[in-house]
Amino acid sequence: MKSLLVYLKEYKKESLLGPLFKLLEASFELMVPLVVAAVVDQGIKNDDPHFIITRCLLLAALGMIGLLCSVSAQFFAAKAAVGFATGLRKALFSHIQGLSFADSDKVGTATLITRMTGDVNQVQTGVNHVLRLFLRSPFIVFGAMVMAFTVDVRAAFIFVVLIPVLTVVVFAVILTGIPLFRKIQAGLDRVMRLTRENLTGVRVIRAFRREEEEKRLFQERADELMKMQLTAGRITGLLNPFSMVIVNIAIIILLSTGASQVAAGTLTLGAVIALVNYMSQILVELVKLANLIITITKSFASGSRIEAVFAIRNDSLAGGGWLPPDTEWNEGQQDNKPEYHEPEYHKPEYHKPKYHIQFIDVTFRYPGAGEAVLTDINFTVNKGDTIGIIGGTGAGKSSLIHLLPRFYEAEKGAIMINDQDIRTMPVDSLRSRIGIVMQKAILFKGTIRDNLLWGKANATEEELWEALRIAQAEEFVSSKEGQMEAKVEQEGRNYSGGQRQRLSIARALVRRPDILIMDDSTSALDYLTEAKLRTAVREACSDTTVLIISQRASSVMHTDKILVLDEGKIVGTGTHQELLKACPVYKEIYETQFESST
């Protein structure tokens, strides 16, 4: 939690003024019982209306000043807490954006969403309450005890016994509830994960008529969370009754001893009223303090979860330098985390590289996976070539091309671009040379122009239309109202699958990359449109090396070279005709999609 307080530095003034105004309010509140005692002992006893009126005006003044102090404290505390949460949320979002695919997979999208929303809100609430109450409540509790000694020493010893007893009860309840709050946050993660899965796959759920099953599963998770919350609520709910019982017993003792002293003339009636008021103040503030500690406990749990995200090592995949294979990292020891920085990049002297792309004995497995997804991958690509990569589902095609922009890091081997190991290249520099069209075409809310400019922020109008022409999207964009300014809904929901794919291809083509990766990005296109797209890319981007990943033989059969993957290994390399003769896996794929000529 300490590491998160750095985001409170910009609000030092507010963090100081908030508690200060609360202490002023508490000071005025401690004066009230003494004024009331004076009204009873002097004004009422002596039948002095002037004294009563002046003291009542004094009470009103104390109340107004206390109100102004309270409002000021709330303003400064809220400003500091909201500013703190804003800074924290921005930093967390920025950090998450920089995480590698491997780290994102490990943590899980639902967990990241929960920590950036619910956990940050909980920490914000904790900061707000601490600034307002953390000093005020103890100040009033011990201040009331001190003021009680100024009224009557003998009666004040009841306070000396009461406060430790109440403190024991409060902390016993809180310590019992702390583990439950942590379980509640974990349960909330599970509900969030299930909710996200259902919202993302709602069409599949309806297609397979699984609505009732998913409702039942969600109800089970929600019921588990509710039970944990009820258990924690019951335990913390014991706090108020126990506190009330103890304080009421103390009040009974106080009234009993006070009555005997009043009868003996050693204590005034106003003094007894003042002591009872101080006793009530202690009760109220201890309950507030208990609730504050519960809130702080929740905030610490949420803060620890946020720190766990910040502690995820941000290695070379996300913009840092390459971690040597023998580097060990204990996730629980953040203070001992070795620092790795972006490697110093020296542009190599110009020489004609032997190959544009080269994979040398590359092996890769996903974090936590038992078996390697790719094993001993070796191939070379010349500048300007168009390479097809084909294989069955799960053969490792997408995993292979995700290694090139370093979304994931190879376990063994090396990947070279222009004879330079990509691990020695700055990630920004590497990725700026690559245009990639993902397997799932994703568009962002805005306009068509906004989405195309993702490829190149300063692209001209001619460059945008040229990219659309090559991607075979010029015709349908021209027919849209507003053309380039046509609206795009979230994820491109207002466009067909083929239109989304063509816009995604155009977005990658805008930057005119050295390497263009098309990961099964034409699956929604008809054969004629796909053929026109291939021809246009070859003619307009003759210097661009193109990698086409597909399960359709028609998409790769006209490429310069085809790589055939099967169970994570390259089982065939060559042209279409060569593979038909020499590669049974490719021949089987081809014959299942086309009528055999034999």
Looking at domain 2-310, its CATH class is mainly alpha
Enumerate residues 6+ apart whose C-beta is below 8 A from 174: 236, 290, 293, 294, 297
| Range from 63-77, 80-94, 332-346, 495-509 carrying the lowest mean pLDDT | 332-346
- pLDDT digits over 170-227, tens only? 777 777 777 787 788 778 778 878 887 888 788 888 888 888 888 999 999 999 889 8
Query: What is the rounded CA–CA span in Å between residue 256 and residue 158?
Result: 12
- Residue 34 reports pLDDT greater than 80: yes
CA 496 to chain centre: 31
Return the pLDDT at 76. Answer: 92
pLDDT tens sequence across 524-543: 778 888 888 888 888 888 88
- The distance of Cα 264 from the centroid of its chain, to the nearest Å, equals 67
* Mean pLDDT estimate for the chain: 81
| Nearest residue to 435 via CA among 509, 361, 533 | 509
The whole-angstrom separation of Cα 189 and Cα 178 is 17
Delimit the domains of the chain by residue range: 2-310, 357-593
Mean pLDDT calculated for residue range 16-27: 88
User: What would the two tokens of residue 112 be?
Assistant: 């990241």
β partners of residue 363: 412
* Residues contacting 563, CB < 8 A, separation 6+: 379, 387, 388, 389, 390, 570, 572, 573
Residues 294-347 have pLDDT tens digits of 788 778 878 888 888 888 765 433 433 333 333 333 333 333 333 334 444 444
Evaluated on CA atoms 406, 407, 410, 411, the torsion sign reads positive
CATH topology of domain 357-593: Rossmann fold (3.40.50)
Categorize the per-residue pLDDT at 406 as very low, low, confident or very high, splitting at 50, 70 and 90: confident
C-alpha distances (whole Å) from 103 to each of 112, 318, 370 are: 11, 9, 17
Residue 155 has which token pair?
A: 């009666």
Q: Residue 304 and residue 326: Cα distance in Å, rounded?
A: 29
Q: What is the largest CA-CA distance in the chain?
A: 122
400: left (phi over 0), alpha (psi -120 to 50) or beta: alpha
Q: How confident is the model at residue 474 (pLDDT cuts 50, 70, 90)?
A: confident
pLDDT of 134: 82
Classify the C-alpha dihedral 264-268-269-274 as positive or negative. Answer: negative
Report the C-alpha dihedral over residues 494, 437, 449, 497, rounded to 10 degrees.
Answer: -20
* Position 452 pLDDT exceeds 70: yes
Lowest mean pLDDT among 274-288, 292-306, 321-335, 353-367: 321-335
